[in-house]
Amino acid sequence: MFVQPFLRFAALLAAPLLAQSIPVTEHTLSNGMRVLLVERHQRPSVACGWVVRAGSANERPGTTGIAHLFEHMMFKGTRTLGTRDAARDAELNRLQDLLQAQIRRELDTLRERLRRGEIADMNDPAVRSPRHQDLLRDFERLATEQRALLEKNELVQIYTRAGATELNADTTSDRTYFHVTVPANRLELWAWLESDRLLNPVFREFYTERDVVMEERRQRVDATAIGVFEERYRSLIWQAHPYHWPIIGWPSDIAQVTREQAQEFFATYYAPNNISAVLVGDFRSRDALAMMERYFGRIPANPAGVPPIVTTEPPQPAPTRLLAEADTGAEVVITFKAVSGLHRDAPALEVLAALLGGQTGRLNRALVRARRSATDVMAWNKGLKYAGTFVVFGVPAGEDRSPEVEAQLLEEIARIQREGVTERELRKVKNRFQMGAFKRLEDDAVLANALAEAEGAGTYRDLLEEPRWLEAVTAADVQRVARKYLVKESMNTLVYSRKSAPAREGK
């Protein structure tokens, strides 16, 4: 066997190796759309994306889930793409909307009957009135006629044929991001297709897509062991702020959202002055900018701008607890209210989370290794656009050890509040952040995503500055934010325990 002696590690406080700054070219189009370009010629492709500053936080009760449903609608085509007869298609959409308005009245009646206890489930086909059933049949007829005219998923097919990959979109509480990677010779195709769907979208197949999203909700939430509890926990943490409802929306709202509401959402938020586009990859910036102006510059701005979110979460007056008996093993989650990701204390909280969590973090040493009370522990800081949370988490080593794990998680936090942290720990986690900054630069799509994410919450400059802010965090900062934010009043605890012997499953 051949083994080299293990070399001593680098001197304790060696000068940090900071990642190079990202060479971003920034430009604002005449209609207010921001464009960020990062030219890199390693690969013959371009990672393209655009982020719209709207997510579930921009919804209101009754239309929860619309931002995400909307993300789906943006793949349904335009006046040019997606149908063989744009005029008849528009007419069929109008007729469907009229029928749906009548169907909603039937549903209003069913809701009333549900309140009176006359029926148990308003979605059970057996409770529909004959008229309701007729309306559904008429609707299906229109949908069938429309389907015969559709060029299904034409947008996707054009992209696929051109060799595009990673075509997708995702919605968070704060923003919606549409992305794709195209071969370097197809950048103009991207500009054509994306500006077309911002300029002339048609939300066809709207009502079927609602059902798709209902199935997505079942798959992600209702049919999982802990989905509905996670949802409840979120609502417990956020009482007033729109973070209160789930991104995918409440089932009742998804089922009843209308195309008219979707149109309004689009007109308000999907305006170029509320969008940033990001390109990372193999192109020439000068040509790309001219192309962007030509394609995206033609989209009219929304002069009214976007209504600000004024609801602020009031200070939490007392800790809360949620005890969940579920089809899952024991878990302890403690969530403190913290700060927005843009807040000047966010970097110190990120450092604190890294110190507590991770393979060599304090929680792992204390709970997993020394005391053997937990098999897994984590800590993370989640700075969203408007507010944020700080979370510690543990998986007890036995079903009955949750109280012990909960106490020890809090004890490790208290220890930092009392004694602070060491310079060595601080250096260790800062080194990890630096590695993260290098890794972010390795992949065009990852970098585009990070820039878009920063634009969605604030500005891309936040991303550029982040390594410097993290490097500047001191031991005193870490102790200060631990004392300031990780306090009893702002604490929300979720304890999972296994539901005792289930009833005979599924008959």
Partner 1 sequence: MMNLGVPTLLMLACTLAAQPIPARPELLPVQPLVFKAPRARDFKVTLRNGIPAFIVPDPEGQPIVRVKVLYRGGSYLDPAGKEGLAALFGNQIRRGGTEVTPVDELDERLAFLAAGVHGRCGATSGSLSLEVLEKDLETGLAAFMEVLTRPAFAQASLDLARQDQLQALAKRNDSANSISGYQFGYLLRGESHFASAQATQASLARITREDLRAFHARILHPANLVVTASGPIDPRAFKAVLDRTVGALKPGREARVSPPVPAPTFTRTPGLYLCGKAGPQSVVALAVPGLRRGDPDWPAAMLMEEILGGGGVSSRLMKRLRNDEGLTYGVSTRLEPGTFWKGDLLCRFQTKNRSVAYALRLVLEEVEKLKREPVGEQEFSVARDGLIQAFPSRFSDAESVAGLFAGQNLNGQPEDYFLDFRERLRSVTRDQVREAARKYLDMTRMVLLVVGDVEAVRQGDAKDHPGRLGEGLGLPVTVLPLRDPSTLRPLP
In 10 A of CB 458, how many CB atoms? 15
| Nearest approach, Cβ of residue 374 and partner 1 (Å) | 10
Residue 97 binding partner 1, by CB under 8 A: no
All residues at 6 or more sequence positions from 259 whose CB lies less than 8 Å from its CB, including other chains: 93, 97, 100, 203, 206
**Mask: binding to partner 1, 405-444, rule CB under 8 A, as x and -?**
-------------------x--xx--xx-xx--xx-xxx-
Decide whether 116 or 424 has the Cβ nearer to partner 1: 424
d(CA 414, CA 479): 10
Decide whether 44 or 305 has the Cβ nearer to partner 1: 44
Task: Please select the residue that binds partner 1; options are 318, 344, 500, 505, rule is CB under 8 A.
Answer: 505
Structure tokens given for 215: 């199935």
Residue 205 binding partner 1, by CB under 8 A: yes
Residue 232 binding partner 1, by CB under 8 A: no
Residue 506 binding partner 1, by CB under 8 A: yes
CB of 50 within 8 A of CB of 276? yes
| Nearest approach, Cβ of residue 252 and partner 1 (Å) | 15
| Nearest approach, Cβ of residue 53 and partner 1 (Å) | 26
Residue 17 binding partner 1, by CB under 8 A: yes
| Nearest approach, Cβ of residue 463 and partner 1 (Å) | 16
| Nearest approach, Cβ of residue 242 and partner 1 (Å) | 24
Structure tokens given for 501: 């012997």
Q: Which segment (38-46, 170-178, 305-313, 464-472) binds partner 1 by CB under 8 A?
A: 38-46
Specify the DSSP class assigned to residue 218: I
Question: What are the φ and ψ backbone dihedral angles of 144, each rounded to 5 degrees?
Answer: -65, -40
Report 350-379 residues binding partner 1 (CB under 8 A). Answer: 358-360, 365, 368-369, 372, 375-376
| Nearest approach, Cβ of residue 137 and partner 1 (Å) | 10
Please classify residue 5 by burial: count the beta carbons closer than 10 Å to its beta carbon, then call 0-12 exposed, 13-18 middle and 19+ buried. exposed
Residue 45 binding partner 1, by CB under 8 A: yes
Decide whether 68 or 175 has the Cβ nearer to partner 1: 68
Q: Which segment (95-103, 108-116, 216-224, 311-319) binds partner 1 by CB under 8 A?
A: 216-224
Rounded to whole angstroms, the maximal C-alpha distance in the chain is 83
Report 382-411 residues binding partner 1 (CB under 8 A). Answer: 395, 397
Report 268-297 residues binding partner 1 (CB under 8 A). Answer: 282-284, 286-287, 290-291, 293-295
| Nearest approach, Cβ of residue 183 and partner 1 (Å) | 6
DSSP state letters, 365-413: IIIIIIS--EEEEEEEEEE-SS-EEEEEEEEESSTT-HHHHHHHHHHHH
Residue 93 binding partner 1, by CB under 8 A: no
CB of 337 within 8 A of CB of 317? no
How many C-alpha atoms does 211 have within 13 Å on its Cβ side?
Answer: 4
Task: Please select the residue that binds partner 1; options are 52, 103, 135, 193, rule is CB under 8 A.
Answer: 193
Distance separating the N- and C-terminal Cα atoms of the chain: 59
Q: What residue spans of 173-318 are helical by DSSP H?
A: 187-199, 206-217, 227-237, 251-256, 259-269, 285-296
Residue 101 binding partner 1, by CB under 8 A: no
Q: Classify residue 10 as left (phi > 0), alpha (psi -120 to 50) or beta.
A: beta
Task: Please select the residue that binds partner 1; options are 21, 160, 239, 312, rule is CB under 8 A.
Answer: 160
| Nearest approach, Cβ of residue 77 and partner 1 (Å) | 11
| Nearest approach, Cβ of residue 241 and partner 1 (Å) | 28
Structure tokens given for 242: 């729109």
Total residues contacting partner 1 by CB under 8 A comes to 107
Residue 258 binding partner 1, by CB under 8 A: no
Residue 469 binding partner 1, by CB under 8 A: no
Decide whether 20 or 317 has the Cβ nearer to partner 1: 20
CB of 138 within 8 A of CB of 102? no
Q: Which of 337, 110, 328 is nearest to 228 (CA)?
A: 328
Residue 446 binding partner 1, by CB under 8 A: no
Decide whether 53 or 186 has the Cβ nearer to partner 1: 186
CB of 386 within 8 A of CB of 321? no
